[in-house]
A and B are shown apart, each in its own frame.
Chain A
Amino acid sequence: MENCETYEYDILVIGSGGAGLRAVIAAREAGCSVGVLCKSLLGKAHTVMAEGGVAASLANMTNPDGTHEKDSWEVHFVDTMKGGAFLNNWRTVEIFAKEAPDRVLELEQYGAVFDRTPEGLIAERPFGGHKYRRLNHVGDRTGLEIIRTLQDKAVSVGMNVHMEITCTRLLKEGNRVVGAFGYYRESGKFVTFKAKAVVLATGGWGRMYRYTSNSWEGTGDGLMMAYEAGAELIDMEMIQFHPTGMIWPPGMRGILVTEGVRGEGGVLRNSKGERFMFDKKYMPALYNGQFADTEEEGARWLTDKQNNRRPPELLPRDVVARAIYREIEAGNGSEHGGVYLDVTHRGADYIKRKLPSMYEQFHALGGVDITKEPMEVYPTIHYTMGGVRVHPETCATTVDGLFAAGEVAAGLHGANRLGGNSLSDILVFGRRAGIAASSYAKEHTLGVLDNAQIEEEQEYLLLPLKTTNGENPYTIHSELQDAMQTNAMIARTEAGLLSALEKILELQKRAEKLSAPGDRFFNPGWHAARDVRFMLRASEVIVRCALERKESRGAQWRLDFPDRDDEVWGKKNLIASRNGDMVKITTRELDAMPPELKRLFEETK
């Protein structure tokens, strides 16, 4: 076994996105020593890319008659449950909706500078599935504001940041997680961490698909480390296809076009120029009567939200993504095979002020002036609703000593996430994970690291460097992306999913023999060899769960089971866990919602 440095902390936070950094702040405030790890440099996590805003019912926006919109945690609760097609954990959603406003206001105290209303309050914009204007924002760079704010705050409360370390295994003593193992990307040297409690905040996984808004980091390492350590995963079939990703030019395909464009009045059209979202066939029964019936009403809504209903472009993401898909299938696609998103009617000044980074993105990268021409868009793999199953209050996973928050954790979003709910998710539950991990740390001492586990992981990592005639990890990755993009995408069938599964299993076999030429010093091919193995296992779990859920709900759209089955599938979540080398899939009954929450669905109609 190669010797490696060891660091000791009360709390180890893996991941320095918003969830990780918010956990750091909470743990420091609780008096714990904290170390935080990230794969990239500090401040470069997915959180930095978020655009549209952070959802919290501050009710800052006013109606034409001067009254404030009647937003409240109750309405936010109802919207989130409906958006998630009731697969969400209601307790998680309740905590979330209640605490989100405080978490956003707190950011201001930390230094965040949000856009303002005429009254001088934080400005909120409309977004899909949110009844009222609820997305607190800074133009279309809200994530940058949030991560920088948390980064500066975390630095000032004091933490040890270990940048550019990829963690590849959680270390256990008996059934408890007591530390983690990883390598420095720069030197390739190994490193171990010992902690009284570990907070997993490693974000989502989109890289197993060809077209995604995710960065290279989104390979599901944290998810799979938890799985390997015995944690239960939940809702893994639920992958969000964001309706509007860039489709052209080819290199830009998958890059996100914020929902803020539609929030600011952007409309979707097919090649015939029709605003197809007005087509009744796309309107889910649950939302009947809650959206504008005519384009005229939709247009009036821009200036008078009190007396008009939202345009149907602002339906939840799963609904809009499916409609786009069906339009294209029906032969109504745009030049490059997408649909058009047009915001030109808002005028150049407004667009440049409210959507500056979209303007710049299309201008610099797509050669399109969005103040003059429509954008071409197509659904892109964006977000993972599923993940590690956690306790609603404490974010404790099903493994002792391990907590999880942010996109890697699951329960809040159910079958579909509403835009803006992730940024508040990471604040609310990042903080809660930090607090709960601190309490745990105060009741426990440091554990003992097991050399056998460390040695095993070292060998596993070093293998591709020693193998000379194995495959290129990028080739395996690319074939996986094709399989997932073709057969585990937005419209799923049993035959398609089975062929994806077959391919994944084949690739898993081939991935046992990978080659990475070169040495250990900042060697991307070598890093990719580990990443692709995480992705292969995560993909297997996704596909198996998608096969299992024989209905259409939220992001899971099965062409062979097109209906929502509330009697059977509406009552349970799918749970995946490790059983030796096999993926074990079970179901778990949803907890019954207490009457006081049930009542809200009537009251807020």
Chain B
Amino acid sequence: MDTVTLKIFRGNTSGGEMVSYTVPKTPGMVVLDAVHYIQRSLDTTLACRWNCKAAKCGSCSAEIDGTPRLMCKSRIEEYPSGEITVGPMRAFPLLKDLVTDVSWNYRVATKIPSLVPKPEVSGKPFVLQQEDVERVQEFRKCIECFLCQDVCHVIREHDKKDAFFGPRQMVRIAGLEMHPMDGINRREQLKNEAGIGMCNITKCCTEVCPEHIHITDNAIIPMKERVVDDYFDPITKILRKVGVLPTDKKASFSSVPNGLTVIKQENSSSKS
């Protein structure tokens, strides 16, 4: 029978090793199929995440032959050598085997307020042309696989999780900042808390995005320009002051109440 060899990282916080498994090949097989085969038939303790098996949920992120990819979208045939290595995402703390602790992504997401409609459209159906929403729709394709976060050197090599929200959240903020009906100014957050300045446009994030979102060109660069316009361009500033350019009518960021969210509350409050 035709087989393929998977070398999979097995281990936990106290260490691990690559273990080889031989898996029978079927037509059109993807890496996730092979992992499932191992789980069912060879070792039921092999840990991985998955849900849709159709590249729609962003659960099965891993590093395949060193590249961050979705296991359910990586066909075995793409690796003709017959040997494939699969490891966990390395930018996040390892839990077990292919599973990492991605909760930081959710925690940082709580800092971004959701859409607050401008007062004049609040509570009314939006009237928007397709051209007006297309740009935002690109960003809303994000399936939160966090592969871009995994590959971004600011997070991966420099572990600046406290200073940079990462490309995923840049995409999220872009979807709000460029939403024609959003009523709050997000540039202050972008510049400070979200740390957009940390990105030096290497475009690695765009390369790995399974949804083909142009993270750098369409989200980060235009937002960098907006932030620069706002904060560093003295001429714009003066023109705004004297009323030649319109001032930004959007409410300031801090005026928006943000609810409390606690994710993974293990070992904390409200115990009885």
Q: Residues of A at under 8 Å CB distance from B? A: 5-8, 28, 40-45, 48-49, 105, 108-111, 113-116, 119-122, 138-139, 141, 143-145, 148-149, 152-153, 155-163, 184, 186-187, 189, 194, 215-217, 248-252, 255-256, 357, 360-361, 364-367, 472-474, 478, 516-518, 521-526, 528
B57, B123, B127, B270: the one contacting A109 at CB < 8 Å is B123
Within 8 A of A (CB), among B75-90: 75
Bound Cα distance A197, B131 (Å): 45
Task: Give me 25 A-to-B residue pairs in the complex whose CB atoms sit less than 8 angstroms apart, sorted by A's number.
Answer: A8-B270, A28-B259, A40-B51, A41-B49, A44-B51, A44-B59, A48-B143, A49-B57, A114-B133, A115-B137, A141-B56, A148-B140, A155-B109, A156-B259, A160-B261, A186-B95, A215-B53, A216-B50, A252-B53, A361-B54, A365-B30, A474-B41, A524-B44, A524-B48, A525-B39
B33, B72, B114, B122: the one contacting A152 at CB < 8 Å is B114
Structural contact, B55 and A360, CB atoms closer than 8 A: yes
Structural contact, A109 and B109, CB atoms closer than 8 A: no
Structural contact, A42 and B106, CB atoms closer than 8 A: yes
B202: interface (CB < 8 Å): no
A141 CB contacts on chain B under 8 angstroms: 56, 141
Structural contact, A248 and B28, CB atoms closer than 8 A: yes
Closest residue to A191 on the B side, CB-wise? B266
Closest residue to B73 on the A side, CB-wise? A364
Structural contact, B266 and A184, CB atoms closer than 8 A: yes
Closest residue to A5 on the B side, CB-wise? B271
CB A349 to nearest CB in B, in angstroms, measures 14
B56 CB contacts on chain A under 8 angstroms: 48-49, 141, 143-144, 357
A161 CB contacts on chain B under 8 angstroms: 106, 261-264
A360 CB contacts on chain B under 8 angstroms: 55
Structural contact, B51 and A216, CB atoms closer than 8 A: yes
B130, B137, B259: the one contacting A155 at CB < 8 Å is B259
Give the segment of B96-104, B189-197, B237-245 that binds chain A: B96-104
Task: Identify 16 new A-B residue pairs, CB closer than 8 A, beyond the known A111-B176, A251-B28.
Answer: A7-B270, A48-B51, A109-B115, A116-B132, A116-B133, A141-B56, A156-B113, A156-B259, A158-B260, A189-B266, A216-B50, A217-B51, A255-B53, A364-B75, A365-B73, A525-B39
Structural contact, A155 and B261, CB atoms closer than 8 A: yes
B45: interface (CB < 8 Å): yes
Known: A111-B114, A116-B129. A48 touches B57 (CB 8 A): yes
B185: interface (CB < 8 Å): no
Interface centre among A44, A472, A473 (most CB of B within 10 A): A44
B129 CB contacts on chain A under 8 angstroms: 116, 120
Closest residue to A156 on the B side, CB-wise? B114
CB A555 to nearest CB in B, in angstroms, measures 23
Q: Residues of B at under 8 Å CB distance from A? A: 12, 26-30, 33, 39-41, 44-59, 72-73, 75, 95-97, 99, 102-103, 106, 109-110, 112-115, 117, 122-123, 125-130, 132-133, 136-137, 140-144, 175-176, 179, 258-267, 270-272
Known: A49-B54, A116-B128, A161-B262. A365 touches B140 (CB 8 A): no
Structural contact, A364 and B55, CB atoms closer than 8 A: yes
Closest residue to B121 on the A side, CB-wise? A109
B264 CB contacts on chain A under 8 angstroms: 161-163
Bound Cα distance A251, B24 (Å): 12
B114 CB contacts on chain A under 8 angstroms: 110-111, 149, 152-153, 155-156
Bound Cα distance A268, B33 (Å): 29
Bound Cα distance A528, B39 (Å): 11
Structural contact, A474 and B128, CB atoms closer than 8 A: no
Structural contact, B137 and A252, CB atoms closer than 8 A: no
Bound Cα distance A515, B270 (Å): 35
Q: Is the interface of A mostly helix, strand, loop or mixed?
A: mixed
B175 CB contacts on chain A under 8 angstroms: 113
Interface centre among B56, B97, B112, B175 (most CB of A within 10 A): B56
B53 CB contacts on chain A under 8 angstroms: 215, 252, 255
Closest residue to A139 on the B side, CB-wise? B137
Bound Cα distance A357, B270 (Å): 43
Bound Cα distance A521, B137 (Å): 39
A152 CB contacts on chain B under 8 angstroms: 109, 112, 114-115
Interface centre among A116, A119, A159 (most CB of B within 10 A): A116
Counting from the closest, the 8 A-B pairs by CB-CB distance are A249-B28, A525-B44, A158-B259, A111-B115, A518-B45, A120-B127, A152-B114, A215-B51
Bound Cα distance A5, B263 (Å): 15
Closest residue to B27 on the A side, CB-wise? A249
A110, A139, A160: the one contacting B115 at CB < 8 Å is A110
A186 CB contacts on chain B under 8 angstroms: 95-96, 99
B26, B130, B258, B261: the one contacting A159 at CB < 8 Å is B261
Known: A44-B58, A115-B130, A116-B133. A522 touches B47 (CB 8 A): yes
Structural contact, A251 and B29, CB atoms closer than 8 A: yes
Interface centre among A122, A145, A162, A252 (most CB of B within 10 A): A252
A143 CB contacts on chain B under 8 angstroms: 56
CB B69 to nearest CB in A, in angstroms, measures 11
A7 CB contacts on chain B under 8 angstroms: 265, 270-271
A144 CB contacts on chain B under 8 angstroms: 56, 140-141, 143
A49 CB contacts on chain B under 8 angstroms: 51-52, 54, 56-57
A145 CB contacts on chain B under 8 angstroms: 140
Bound Cα distance A381, B47 (Å): 26
Bound Cα distance A526, B47 (Å): 11
